[in-house]
Amino acid sequence: MNEQELSRRLARVGAHVPKNARLADIGSDHAYLPVALMLQEQIEFAVAGEVVKGPFHSAEKQVRKSGLTNNIVVRLADGLDAIEPSDNITAITIAGMGGTLIRSILEAGKQKQRITGSERLILQPNIGEKTLREWLVANNYTIIEEEILEENKKIYEIIVAEQQTPVKYSEQELLFGPQLMKNPTDVFYQKWQHELAARKRVLKELEKAEKQPVEKIQELQTQIQWIEEVLA
Ligand code: SAM
């Protein structure tokens, strides 16, 4: 992967960034995504935010090498602190992290008023999609698009959200993804077959315990039932 040719995962994240967006890519590492989108003339301006010095310097180097210092600002900052009001950001990408971390970045950004609610969020959690969807719903976001894909034997989900008329989602939709459930693909079935087996293994272990965690067991039993229904 490089700034000319993104991994399939990052290319699909980029595909959900609206044309001429003013993008904030948080956790930007080599700034591959904003640089590639700028070279493709897909975006107008970008902030590449990084909290760790090594990846921050790599991002700076990449932007300089690509001759894009006028269009992409690289900032060493924690989460959405990378965004300044004058950036007029219209889309935010946060990819390649756990859902819990993405959720906490969004929550901190909301508390500090770094986001207005008008930005499109394009999120690619490596795990913990449910907790992220719960945050989105609690904050009046609608999940407008979702994607699931496999790359190098790993399965990734992309969640695209905007604040629109609030929608109520069922617990099953929060687990499986409201848009993914509508058009389940082979990769979706593959993921949930794997998840079903994993949950059954955990349940078996918990049931053997001397002091059984009743709530956890009930939660697993319910989810196993939902997964079996989705796979049926
Ligand atoms: N977004 C790129 C991608 O999807 O390929 C890079 C993913 S990399 C696994 C995660 C990056 O997020 C790391 O460079 C890490 O330093 C950065 N990161 C983690 N927590 C962050 C935070 N709170 N604020 C900004 N960057 C963060």
Q: Strand 43-50 to strand 120-125: parallel, antiparallel, or no bridges (unpaired)? A: unpaired
Domain 8-167 architecture = 3-Layer(aba) Sandwich (3.40)
End-to-end CA distance of the chain: 38
Tens of pLDDT, residues 98-155: 999 999 999 999 999 999 999 999 999 999 999 999 999 999 999 999 999 999 999 9
Which of 23, 25, 28, 115, when mutated, tests ligand 1's pocket best, judged by the most ligand atoms within 8 Å of its CB? 28
The model's pTM is: 0.96
Could you give the 3-state DSSP secondary structure of residue 185?
Answer: coil
Tens of pLDDT, residues 192-201: 999 999 999 9
Spatial distance between the Cα atoms of 71 and 10, rounded to a whole number of angstroms: 20
Instruction: For residue 50, report the distance from its CA to the centre of ligand 1, in Å.
Output: 6
Spatial distance between the Cα atoms of 123 and 104, rounded to a whole number of angstroms: 13
Could you give the 3-state DSSP secondary structure of residue 228?
Answer: helix
Domains of the chain, by residue range, sit at: 8-167, 189-231
Burial annotation 79-113 (CB, 10 A radius, 16+ → b, else e):
bbbbbeeebebbbbbbbbbebebbbebbeebeeee
- What pLDDT was estimated at residue 5? 76
Phi, psi of 91 (to 5 degrees): -145, 140
> Along the chain (232 residues), what's the average pLDDT of each consecutive run of 10 residues?
81 98 97 97 98 97 97 98 98 98 98 96 98 97 98 97 93 98 97 98 93 93 97 94
Residue 74 · residue 63 · CB < 8 Å: yes
Evaluate: CB of 94 within 6 angstroms of ligand 1.
no
- What pLDDT was estimated at residue 4? 67
